[in-house]
Amino acid sequence: MPRDPRYDILFEPVKIGPVTAKNRFYQVPHCNGMGHVYPSSWVEMRRVKAEGGWGVINTEEVEISHTSELSPIPEGRLWDDSDIPLLARMADAVHEYGALAGIELAHLGSGAANNFSREIPMGPSARPIDLLEPIQTRAMDKADIKAFRKMHVDAAIRSKQAGYDIVYVYCGHDMTTLVHFLSRRHDRSDE
Ligand SMILES: Cc1cc2nc3c(=O)[nH]c(=O)nc-3n(C[C@H](O)[C@H](O)[C@H](O)COP(=O)(O)O)c2cc1C
């Protein structure tokens, strides 16, 4: 049976900023229970999607620092340069079939309990974590805010080095609060 022409557009390329997706089948960022804990499965799941024809394939939330650590939930990880090779494996697998690879950079702020890294969770204000764990956060100071920005810049550069075509900044969960807080402060000349 021929394809209903109403759906033809799904198979046409689309320009996204400087890159072009070969079609409109777009796998949004989503967690999968694998992340950094099952790296090969994590790569292969995306390779299978690319082989199946998806135009864009994204990671899930990728932690950009040990100060945003979600274990036992297995997310992607890009804490430092040592995490680049695994992320590059996924991007390469996706590129093998002509799809674009996207990465979602995440700092969960007061949503991250840091069970494994043991860092004290930080957020816009000192308060109990309300996402996953009953833990107290500490309020970020100016040095934290500066470091938080640098974490994002560093992670974006590392994403490019790993071969990603699209870079997201995750602003869900408690991070929405944090991003609002940071943008409110953005105009102040002393920062
Ligand atoms: C199991 C699961 C994990 C998800 N993980 C993420 C995530 O890591 N990052 C994100 O931005 N959205 C995440 N989402 C939301 C999805 O990206 C998506 O927005 C949602 O499933 C709705 O899909 P739709 O927009 O195609 O209807 C997740 C959703 C599910 C069901």
pLDDT at 182 over 50: no
Supply the residue whose CA is at minimum distance from atom 15 of ligand 1. Answer: 30
**pLDDT at position 123:** 85
Could you tell which of 28, 73, 169, 173 is best to mutate to test the pocket of ligand 1, judged by most ligand atoms within 8 Å of the CB?
28
**pLDDT at position 183:** 44
Against a cut of 0.75, is the pTM above it? yes
Kindly provide the residue ranges of all beta strands, DSSP E only, lying in 40-140, ordered along the sequence.
56-63, 76-77, 100-106, 122-123, 138-139
When pLDDT is averaged across residues 41-63 and rounded to a whole number, the result is 97
pLDDT at 115 over 80: yes
What b/e string do you get for 72-99 counting C-beta neighbours within 10 Å, with b at 16 or more?
ebbbbbbbeeebeebbbbbbebbbebeb
Whether domain 24-184 has CATH 3.40.50.1100: the reply is no
For the stretch 2-27, pLDDT in tens is 999 999 999 999 999 999 999 999 99
Supply the residue whose CA is at minimum distance from atom 25 of ligand 1. Answer: 28
**Residues 55/59/61/65 CA torsion (nearest 10 deg):** -130
> What is the CA 143 to chain-centroid distance, rounded?
23
pLDDT at 106 over 70: yes
**pLDDT at position 126:** 87
For the stretch 128-169, pLDDT in tens is 776 667 888 899 999 999 999 999 999 999 999 999 999 999
DSSP-assigned letter for residue 26:
E
pLDDT at 117 over 80: yes
Question: Measured from the CA of 170, which atom of ligand 1 is nearest?
Answer: 11
Gap from CA of 30 to ligand 1 centroid (Å): 5
pLDDT at 85 over 90: yes
Could you tell which of 25, 31, 49, 173 is best to mutate to test the pocket of ligand 1, judged by most ligand atoms within 8 Å of the CB?
31
